[in-house]
Amino acid sequence: MSRISELEKLKEKILKFRNERDWAQYHDPKNLAEAISIEASELLENFLWKTKEESRNLDKEKIQDIKDEIADVLIYLIVLSEELDIDLIKSAEEKLKKNGKKYPVDKFKGRSKKYDESKKNKL
């Protein structure tokens, strides 16, 4: 007996939403990648001018705005993956393995200096 995952169910809802509006025609990979980048930037805007500490202490309204932007990034990520026939979960698991080889525990554990020196992939 097969079970459909919650991510799969979400994807089906998104595609139903899109098909009802006939919007697949706009969803070429280039424009979807633009949309992801724009939504990620709107997510970041919620933290602009804040300190690290302030970014840990957000009021309820701000958290709701952030939820909506996180949702937008995920939704477009799912659509792009669908268009390119990419398995989101599997890709993330494979990337984690790559990162594990790139950042071995014995060399990178608690090393903030190495952390700073290495480029941006911290996961």
Residues in 79-118 at the binding interface with a second copy, rule: CB under 8 A: 79-81, 83-84, 86, 88-89, 91-96, 98-100, 103, 105, 108-110, 112, 115-116
The answer to whether residue 12 forms part of the interface with a second copy (CB under 8 A) is no
Residues 16-75 that bind a second copy (CB under 8 A): 17-18, 20-23, 25-26, 28-31, 33-56, 58, 63, 66-68, 70-75
Query: Cα–Cα distance between 85 and 66 in angstroms, integer?
Result: 28
Query: Cα–Cα distance between 85 and 91 in angstroms, integer?
Result: 11
Q: What single DSSP character describes residue 5?
A: -
Shortest reach from residue 69's CB to a second copy, in Å: 9
The footprint of a second copy on this chain (CB under 8 A) covers a number of residues equal to 87
Shortest reach from residue 3's CB to a second copy, in Å: 8
The answer to whether residue 4 forms part of the interface with a second copy (CB under 8 A) is no
Shortest reach from residue 2's CB to a second copy, in Å: 13
Q: What are the φ/ψ torsions at residue 119 (nearest 5 degrees)? A: -70, -140
For 4-43, b/e burial (b = at least 16 CB within 10 A) is eeeeeeebeebeeebeeeeeeeebeeeebeebbeebbeeb
